[in-house]
Amino acid sequence: MRPSCCHTFILIAALAQIPGVALAAGGIFGFVDDDGVEHLSNIPDDRRYRLVLADRFEPARAALRTPRGVLALPYNQRPFHDSVQRASLDTGIDAALLHAVITVESGYNQAAVSPKGAAGLMQLMPGTARRYGNANPLDPSENIRAGANYLRDLLAMFDNNLELALAAYNAGENAVIRHGRRLPPYAETQRYVPLVVAHYRRLGGR
């Protein structure tokens, strides 16, 4: 993918919203050539390329390679564990799985809001938050409870298939159903699912 145009930030925003656009580990890179043309690519094969849009999953990937800070802690010592444990007991969702989702979705930033409007520790879209009674998505306990309930329902919907439930959490349940109850062919979803599973296993999940 080597698009170029004169409206860099408009194109970057568009790329970030398209599920099928793959971002390399470093994200999207860009530079302006001698003719004033702006180039964007996920393959920085020219020394002039500079990072212009980071891959949001890179911190979670880096934590698998070299855990640091809160992500180096056992899950039961991480922030918000009391709320995670309550949600786990209420829904039957493994606390380690909830921590894995939080790790990848927000990195424990309770004030995180994505460009698409997903908010809070578990990055719930506004409609999903309302569906599960999460009036304040930035409230950690409310957000975790709603996210856990959503995951419980997704696991039930997809016969306890963890990968499909996580794909639905990322891309929406209709996307998984529309693609034959298989992992949708979206680059972000295909990176997201194995990353959450990897963190879940690292935290002792099975």
Q: Which of 58, 105, 163, 173 is catalytic?
A: 105
142 is catalytic: no
Name beta bridge partners: 50: 30
177 vs 173: CA distance, rounded Å: 6
Catalytic residue numbers read: 105
